[in-house]
């Protein structure tokens, strides 16, 4: 519920917490506990495209850490940072269950496997192109 | 009852009821399985891993706090594997713990300290930086030191389940996980401090006690809370005559470990700078301090002269003084002064109930009964605000036994959240509203009815008739406000035939002497008898004391011995702990006035002696001394103590909330300091 709400609103706000709490019949504090626990719930706004780079073991040994550093440098932001145009944000995440196809990157809900810096560049550029065209 | 399960714990064959947890089965047989998060009466958490035990045929160590016993189970609580596991759990809990025991409030009575001492990890393999966050203040009462916290969830559960408030939660996870208050950076709650007392470590500390003393520097005196009528035992931590803290961690008394903000932190009125510490004499429109000898001689002289010339006395007793003091005062006034005008402030119609019951025994519920009753009906009271212990008992009963709670109240109350049925009825409309509940109530196995001041006189009779018509066993709690409201009534502090009642004494214009013992009748009224000689015994210079000719500084409940009777009629002993220079217990003051007057009442003013007399002469008070002297509670049996015309006095609850307490509350800085104060009733 929180995830869907976050998708719609863009971030988890106090109002959102209050609304979810009243719909579920729990206290806002109990909703807040869930928000605090799960890292995919964000209290700050994210970019339109949220790039999540896994740096857990399988991804790390196949270049996840380099990928993460690369994308930070390319977009000029740090962990959970957001680009000035609000288009991208970057987050270093824990395992997302794609170890067999490591290193893995998730952009919003889309998985991208066997990622390389070049492929990631291409992906980001493609997104920018599409946005410009619109 | 189902057959007992037989199992082996540490080589001993033991029996336990099916469903018993291994940790409890061991405890029942004198074997300790250490734990932090497991807490009797609260939901299970299995968070701390301290209670790991070896169970044969189980592939790995099991948590004793959530594993139920099974037939033929073989448990080992002290095997090498278990000992290693405990050591590792403690080593793990200590990785981020600051080990600031020398300055920690909990030092000396900390469960983590004790566990490390007994089972402990003497060394740590953890060489990384500890994660530090600064201490936070959530209210004048509650402080939270994150690094000390071991995340056992006790505070979260006691607040959710025990108090029904749910003001605490846990946010984040892993090393950054910490307890969070409900309003972002502060708490909005009952400020009861249950979370602080239940904390096994020094993570939650109280504004009153923190950094004041060490636990072993205090003496402990278990006495009865002087604020409301619920009769909670509060154990005062006293150093050099000064109360430093109050709690009830040993679960003695009818309240177990329950206390509200008043019982736990509201004791500061005792050491208020505004306490009277010397008798005062009016000189013009000012007061002058005088000696006790002069004050007593003046009062005795005046009283004697007025008595001799056949003048009129008006005497008001107190809802907060002891049974002995009220008994002695009544005896003094009726026999010593021969005066009929004596009364106390009534806050609930106990008399009408006793009359309606007509001496029927076993019809008054105890605090313990509220936890066991199958159904309860609360009429005209915001129970969580006005009677926090009674509300706590009903909440626990609902949680543990799924008791049905019925509420008939004029506005939203906290009990609505878990009530079986809840209806709104304005004062006067309660009995009509009850008819709508008749069928449901009839289906209950038994019932306990708690009613407030909105039912009086005939209405109480009708309530009892309604309850009788249900055809099920019914018990009652007539709700009254103060620590000894019930006792003042039982001791017969009421007018003799033709005598003036409470309001009559205040408004009469022809009294020659007015004597007020621990009450504030002139709070918002002027005394009718403008020419009367007025004597007031009180802790503070109240509105009434300001009108006095002689003010005698009296001792608070925490400075004296004696007995009080709670709202449920349970009699318990006070034990003096605090000392305040200059003040005297009311019993001693009354006795000394009598001595100065040369009266012989045939009874010395020592609380034990007076209680002996009460046991002999007051109906329903022939109570077992062994229970009382060992700190227990004994319920006075239902006996009609005053005739109906004596009870005709006006009855009104003071409508105190969790954060107010009549005169005493006004002088408690702690109660005044919380943002919820003074609060209000019927807000849900």
Domain made up of B280-342+485-649: CATH architecture: 3-Layer(aba) Sandwich (3.40)
Predicted confidence at residue B121, as pLDDT, reads 75
DSSP symbols for B480-494: --BTTHHHHHHTT-S
CA dihedral B594, B599, B603, B604 (to 10 degrees): 40
- Mean pLDDT, chain B, rounded, equals 94
Predicted confidence at residue B498, as pLDDT, reads 87
Crossing angle of the two packed helices B586-597 and B292-308, in degrees rounded to 10: 60
Split at pLDDT 50, 70, 90, the class of B647 is low
H-helix segments, B383-535: 383-386, 388-401, 430-435, 438-442, 458-469, 485-490, 502-507
Q: Is the CATH code 3.40.228.10 the one for domain B350-478? A: yes
Predicted confidence at residue B150, as pLDDT, reads 95
SS (H, E, C) B641-679: CCCCCHHHCCECCCCCCCCCEHHHHHCCHHHHHCCCCCC
**For residue B324, what are the contacts with CB-CB under 8 A and spacing of at least 6?**
B562, B563, B587, B607, B610, B611, B614
- Output DSSP code: residue B224: E
Asked if B171 lies within 8 A of A33 by C-beta distance, the reply is yes
Structure tokens at A29: 């504090």
Q: Please list the residue range(s) of chain B that carry CATH number 3.40.228.10.
A: 350-478
Nearest to B182 among A27, A35, A36 (CB): A27
Q: Is the CATH code 3.40.50.300 the one for domain B101-271? A: no
To the nearest whole percent, how much of chain B has pLDDT over 90? 89
Please state, in angstroms and rounded to a whole number, the distance separating the CA atoms of residues B94 and B147.
10
Which residue does chain A place closest to B172, by CA atoms? A36
Predicted confidence at residue A39, as pLDDT, reads 87
Q: Where are the domains of chain A?
A: 2-37, 49-133
Predicted confidence at residue B117, as pLDDT, reads 94
Tell me how close the Cα of A96 comes to any Cα of chain B, in angstroms: 18
Predicted confidence at residue B643, as pLDDT, reads 67
Predicted confidence at residue B1, as pLDDT, reads 56
Please state, in angstroms and rounded to a whole number, the distance separating the CA atoms of residues A33 and A41.
11
Q: Is the pLDDT of residue B664 over 80?
A: yes
Which residue does chain B place closest to A38, by CA atoms? B172
Q: Report the SS3 class of residue B532.
A: coil
Contacts of B170 in chain A (CB under 8 A): 33, 36
Domain made up of A49-133: CATH architecture: 3-Layer(aba) Sandwich (3.40)
**For residue B358, what are the contacts with CB-CB under 8 A and spacing of at least 6?**
B640
Enumerate the β-bridge partners of residue A81: A90
Q: Are B317 and B493 in contact (CB under 8 A)?
A: yes
Range 148-187 of B in CB contact (< 8 A) with A: 166-173, 180-182
Q: Please list the residue range(s) of chain B that carry CATH number 3.10.20.740.
A: 5-78
Domain made up of B5-78: CATH architecture: Roll (3.10)
Asked if A37 lies within 8 A of B166 by C-beta distance, the reply is no
Tell me which residue of B564, B579, B487 sits closest to B221, measured CA to CA. Answer: B579
Tell me which residue of A50, A36, A44 sits closest to A13, measured CA to CA. Answer: A44
Tell me which residue of B446, B450, B500, B494 sits closest to B640, measured CA to CA. Answer: B494
In the predicted model, what is the mean pLDDT of residues B576-594?
96
Which residue does chain A place closest to B173, by CA atoms? A37
Split at pLDDT 50, 70, 90, the class of B684 is confident
Q: Is B13 left (phi over 0), alpha (psi -120 to 50) or beta?
A: beta
In the predicted model, what is the mean pLDDT of residues B212-230?
95
Of the residues A29, A36, A43, A94, the best mutation for testing chain B's interface (the one with the most B CB atoms within 10 Å of its CB) is A29
Contacts of B172 in chain A (CB under 8 A): 36-37
Q: Which residues of chain A register pLDDT less than 70? A: none
Of the residues B47, B133, B171, B176, the best mutation for testing chain A's interface (the one with the most A CB atoms within 10 Å of its CB) is B171
Please state, in angstroms and rounded to a whole number, the distance separating the CA atoms of residues B552 and B281.
9
Q: Is the pLDDT of residue B412 over 90?
A: yes
Question: Whats the size of chain B, residue-wise?
Answer: 684
Contacts of A33 in chain B (CB under 8 A): 169-171, 180
Q: Please list the residue range(s) of chain B that carry CATH number 3.30.70.20.
A: 101-271
Give the model confidence (pLDDT) of A32-66 as tens digits. Answer: 999 999 988 999 988 899 999 999 999 999 999 99
Cα→Cα distances B653→B9, B346, B491, Å: 55, 8, 20
Interface contacts A/B by beta carbons within 8 Å? 29
């Amino acid at each position: 519920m929180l995830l869907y709400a976050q998708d719609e609103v863009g971030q988890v706000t106090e109002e959102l917490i209050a609304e979810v709490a009243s719909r579920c019949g729990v206290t806002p504090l109990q909703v807040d506990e869930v928000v605090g626990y799960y890292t995919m719930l964000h209290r700050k706004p994210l970019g339109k495209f949220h790039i999540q780079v896994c740096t857990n073991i399988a991804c790390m040994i196949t270049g996840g850490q380099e990928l993460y550093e690369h994308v930070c440098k390319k977009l000029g932001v740090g962990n959970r940072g957001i680009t000035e145009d609000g288009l991208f944000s970057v987050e270093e995440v824990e395992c997302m269950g794609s170890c067999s196809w490591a290193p893995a990157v998730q952009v919003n809900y889309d998985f991208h496997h066997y990622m390389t810096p070049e492929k990631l560049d291409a992906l980001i550029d493609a997104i920018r192109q599409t946005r410009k065209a619109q | 009852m189902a057959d007992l399960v037989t199992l082996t714990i540490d080589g001993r064959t033991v029996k336990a009821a099916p469903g018993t947890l291994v940790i409890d089965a061991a405890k029942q047989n004198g074997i300790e399985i250490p734990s932090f998060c497991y807490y009797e009466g609260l939901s299970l958490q299995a968070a701390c891993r301290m209670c790991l035990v070896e169970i044969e045929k189980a592939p790995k160590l099991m948590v004793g706090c959530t594993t139920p016993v099974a037939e033929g189970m073989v448990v080992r609580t002290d095997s090498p594997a278990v000992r290693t596991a405990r050591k590792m759990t403690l080593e793990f809990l200590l990785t981020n713990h600051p080990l600031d025991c020398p300055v920690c409030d909990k030092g000396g009575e900390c469960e983590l300290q004790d566990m490390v001492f007994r089972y402990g990890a003497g060394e740590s393999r953890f060489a990384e930086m500890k994660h530090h966050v600064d201490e936070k203040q959530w209210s004048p009462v509650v402080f939270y030191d994150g690094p000390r916290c071991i995340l056992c969830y006790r505070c979260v559960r006691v607040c959710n389940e025990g108090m029904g408030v749910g003001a605490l939660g846990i946010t984040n996870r892993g090393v950054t996980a910490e307890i969070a208050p409900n309003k972002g950076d502060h708490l909005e709650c009952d400020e009861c401090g249950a979370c602080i007392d239940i904390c096994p470590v020094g993570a939650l500390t109280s504004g009153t006690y923190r950094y004041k003393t060490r636990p072993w520097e205090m003496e402990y005196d278990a006495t009865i809370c002087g604020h409301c009528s619920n009769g909670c035992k509060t154990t005062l931590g006293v150093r050099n005559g000064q109360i430093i803290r109050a709690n009830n961690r040993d679960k003695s008394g009818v309240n177990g470990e329950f206390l509200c903000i008043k019982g736990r932190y509201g004791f500061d009125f005792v050491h208020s700078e505004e306490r009277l510490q010397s008798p005062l004499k009016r000189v013009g429109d000012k007061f002058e301090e005088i000696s006790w000898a002069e004050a007593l001689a003046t009062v005795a002289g005046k009283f004697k002269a007025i008595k001799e010339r056949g003048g009129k006395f008006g005497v008001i007793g107190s809802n907060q003084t002891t049974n002995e003091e009220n008994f002695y005062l009544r005896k003094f006034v009726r026999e010593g002064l021969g005066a009929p005008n004596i009364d106390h402030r009534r806050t609930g119609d106990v008399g009408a109930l006793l009359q309606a019951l007509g001496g029927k025994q076993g019809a008054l519920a105890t605090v313990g009964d509220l936890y066991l009753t199958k159904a309860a009906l609360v009429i005209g009271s915001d129970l969580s605000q006005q009677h926090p212990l009674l509300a706590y008992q009903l909440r626990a009963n609902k949680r543990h036994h799924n008791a049905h709670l019925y509420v008939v109240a004029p506005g939203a109350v906290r009990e609505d959240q878990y009530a079986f049925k809840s209806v709104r009825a304005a004062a006067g409309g309660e009995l009509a509203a009850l008819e709508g509940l008749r069928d449901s109530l009839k289906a209950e196995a038994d019932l306990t009815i708690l009613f407030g001041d909105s039912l009086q006189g005939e209405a109480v009779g009708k309530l009892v008739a309604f309850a009788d018509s249900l055809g099920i066993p019914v018990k009652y709690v007539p709700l009254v406000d103060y620590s000894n409201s019930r006792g003042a009534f039982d001791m017969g502090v009421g007018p003799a035939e033709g005598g003036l009642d409470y309001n009559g004494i205040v408004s009469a214009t022809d009294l020659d002497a007015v004597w007020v013992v621990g009450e504030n009748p002139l709070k918002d009224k002027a005394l009718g008898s403008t020419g009367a000689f007025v004597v007031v015994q009180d802790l503070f210079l109240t509105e009434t004391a300001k009108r006095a000719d002689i003010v005698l500084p009296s001792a608070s409940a925490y400075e004296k011995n004696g007995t009080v009777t709670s709202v449920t009629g349970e009699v318990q002993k006070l034990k003096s702990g605090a000392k305040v220079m200059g003040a005297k217990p009311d019993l001693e003051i009354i006795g000394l006035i009598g001595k100065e007057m040369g009266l012989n009442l045939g009874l010395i003013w020592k609380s034990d002696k007076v209680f002996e007399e009460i046991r002999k002469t007051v109906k329903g008070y022939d109570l077992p001394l062994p229970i009382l002297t060992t700190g227990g509670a004994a319920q006075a049996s239902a006996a009609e103590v005053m005739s109906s015309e004596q009870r005709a006095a006006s009855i009104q609850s003071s409508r105190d909330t969790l954060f107010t307490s009549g005169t005493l509350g006004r002088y408690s800085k702690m109660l005044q300091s919380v943002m919820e104060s003074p609060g209000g009733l019927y807000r849900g």
